[in-house]
Amino acid sequence: MTILANDGISAIGVSTLESKGFNVLTTTVAQEQLANYINEKKVSVLLVRSATKVTKELIDQCSGLKLIGRGGIGLDNIDVSYAEKKGIKVINTPEASSSSVAELAFAHLLSGVRFLYDANRNMPLDGDSQFKKLKKSYSGGIELRNKTLGIIGFGRIGQETAKIALGFGMNVVYHDPALDKASIELSFFDGQSVTFNFESQSKEEVLKSSDYITLHVPAQKAYTINKKDFTVMKNGVGIINTARGGAIDEVALVEELDNGKVSFAGLDVFESEPKPEIRILMHPNISLSPHIGASTVEAQNRIGMELATQIIDIFKA
């Protein structure tokens, strides 16, 4: 049986599948050529991440597909209901990348409160000639301890983010209409653990009380944070989005950054991805990364192994 990992798969995932007799192809095929390639190579399993779109049209053109796998949590780039209607099983890896995405959210948060996003632009240019001036301009950093982090979306990634925040000594509040209550166990290196209990608050309450806000939501039809929502937030709030492009109204975000309502933003995902708007890329108060939330060695190995294990269980049972 032939598997096409069109957006890549870790070496351990490939070796695990090949050890069970699967033929794994890791060629990256352009979207418009994908159907022909799948049919030509007699691909039965298509593995994707976020780049490849598995549409109704692609499914119709590839009658030999038996399974579609998504390396990650979200399935918004796959027409799941149509695939299942056609008898194609759809799988994903909901737990593999949670820690990696949460850590990136905090990387952007730390970058924001200590001006690293700007210092890393200006130090190479002026660090040798304007060192004292730069030191003074970045001297107003803020500690995270005792600040309030508002988490919008309290699934696996939101809860992993909460764990990091608790480790920093932050107060955590969350809003998630699908989860009224949650218990989080914070485990330490020496085997000790502490359990924290949370209850969902209204979105408005979270926006009002938070010093910093981070989004961990699936794809939505409307903005999770829209122009009106910014009016509710504290002055000087910081906003992080490592979830989905389109979760934040970027036009409104830029306006609020320019008028000082929002002190900084950290974005890993973008409305017009893979071609983010220039006004976003060039804004001096935005920390940027190119959709790398799950792109750690550990997460990719876990994703590869989770996919491999599921595929083997399905076809070799």
Q: What is the DSSP letter of 67?
A: E
- In single-letter form, the type of residue at position 165 comes to A
Catalytic residue among 175, 291, 302, 306: 291
- Full DSSP string of 11-37: HHHHHHHHHTT-EEE-----GGGHHHH
Query: Between 116-126 and 98-113, two packed helices, what is the crossing angle to 10 degrees?
Result: 60
Question: Do the bridges between strand 2-5 and strand 43-48 make them parallel or antiparallel, or are there none, so unpaired?
Answer: parallel
Q: What token pair was written down for 230?
A: 């910014």
Distance CA 166, CA 56 (A): 43
Helix (H) or strand (E) holding 106: helix 98-113
Judge whether 244 counts as a catalytic residue.
Answer: yes
Instruction: Indicate if 291 belongs to the active site.
Output: yes
In this structure, what DSSP letter does residue 224 have?
Answer: S
Active-site choice (95, 103, 205, 273): 273
State the catalytic residue, choosing from 244, 250, 302, 306. Answer: 244
Could you tell me the CA-to-CA distances from 263 to 107, 231, 233, 234, 287 in Å, in that order?
16, 14, 11, 10, 11
Kindly list the catalytic residues.
244, 273, 291
